[in-house]
Amino acid sequence: MIRVKRHASFGGWVDYYKHASRATGTEMKFSVYLPPQAAKERRPVVYFLSGLTCTEENFTVKSGVQAHAAKHGLIIVAPDTSPRGAGIEGETASWDFGAGAGFYVDATVEPWAKHYKMFSYVSEELPALIAAELPVRADRQGVMGHSMGGHGALVLGLRKPEQYLSVSAFSPICAPSRCPWGEKAFNGYLGPDREAWRQYDATELVATARIRRPLLIDQGAADEFLESQLKPQLLAAACTKADHPLELRQREGYDHSYFFIASFLGEHVEHHARALLA
């Protein structure tokens, strides 16, 4: 991997990298925050998965995560949200499908299947690369995300609980099989068989979770996508039925923006720190 730029921040470093990905067959980019503690010892790592239209920069630039990560000594990794420049016809035609909208699934439908392997990328290839190249504790990983990335974080946490010891999300797409964004993505990447969609739907996965890691979710009550796309009530009902621990916090007056994320991000980083530093 190649470091393309570096910025000092809160005693540590914000680094941007690019590398050739085996999973996607394209160049992939990600950002890393290395807290000052990482100069002396390996530290736990938290992956942040961003939402529709985002790149590896949005969370890193807008959230203010560096101050919180430096306080707790956590490494933060934020990957891009999809392959770029795959050469697929129509990949940039829509803001909610294709480039910038990988939905953290492994596509099985052509022409997307060759390159759009974001589940494998974020859960296998990228952590292996980070563990080999940076001072992380590979046995202490957490995952969080926002919107489409909140969906990705919940799915990773539920499907790979041995890998991710802590899970949280802001405004996640909780039941993608039952909302327009998810139905468009799943139809396009996975085909019309809804049974194939279940493995990427947190509301479906809680019933069979092998380890019941507590889920922390913050949701803005003034979020313009709350009723049409996010549907946290469906996940809450599924968690109640499965007796899966869920803390769902509704924040009055807050919307879907990074102003919302920045307001409560410190609590999420602390949630991960408690689990990863225990």
pLDDT digits (tens, 9 = 90+) for 96-142: 999 999 999 999 999 999 999 999 999 999 999 999 999 999 999 99
SS3 state of residue 172:
coil
Per-residue pLDDT reduced to its tens digit, 50-87: 999 999 999 999 999 999 999 999 999 999 999 999 99
Q: Is 124 exposed, middle or buried (0-12, 13-18, 19+ CB in 10 A)?
A: middle
Annotated catalytic residue, options 72, 256, 268, 272: 256
Question: Is 147 known to be catalytic?
Answer: yes
pTM of the model: 0.97
Annotated catalytic residue, options 15, 123, 223, 244: 223
Instruction: Specify the pLDDT at position 18.
Output: 98
Annotated catalytic residue, options 147, 166, 168, 171: 147
Question: Is 146 known to be catalytic?
Answer: no
Structure tokens at 15: 């680094």
Cα angle 179-181-183, degrees, rounded to a multiple of 5: 65
Question: Is 123 known to be catalytic?
Answer: no
Structure tokens at 134: 């940076």
Query: For residue 221, what are the CA distances in angstroms to 176, 182, 246, 252, 268?
Result: 19, 21, 18, 5, 18
Structure tokens at 264: 């409560």
